[in-house]
Amino acid sequence: MGFLSFCSDSAKLWKLIGRVMLVFKIVIPLLLIIFGMIDLGKAVIASDEKAIKAATNSIIRRLIAAVVIFFIPTIVSAIFGLVDGFNKNDEGYEICRTCITKPGSCQDGDAVQ
């Protein structure tokens, strides 16, 4: 029993979470960039120097946020890799990790390496 059983039994949930994270990782940065471009386009069409400067600052903040959101799973994985208990070659942990980070490789509770 233990962690291996937990991860194997709940693999479908981890796979779903992994797919949702993958969609968010792609869709949210794209939306941030698109909305920033729309705001900048509106400011340029209005020919308002103050609005252009505000829109430029806004798009820069949105680009930074998009990059951060895209790399959140990598950052979290690196932080957990630093923790001694998560760095072990525990098969149960590998099943959970694979189902979350690579949902296409997670099949019926068994992580395909």
User: Could you read off the pLDDT of 37-91 as tens digits, one per residue?
Assistant: 898 888 889 888 898 899 899 889 988 988 888 888 788 777 766 765 555 556 6
pTM: 0.65
The helix or strand, by DSSP H or E, that contains position 62, with its residue range, turns out to be: helix 49-82
Polymer length in residues for the chain: 113
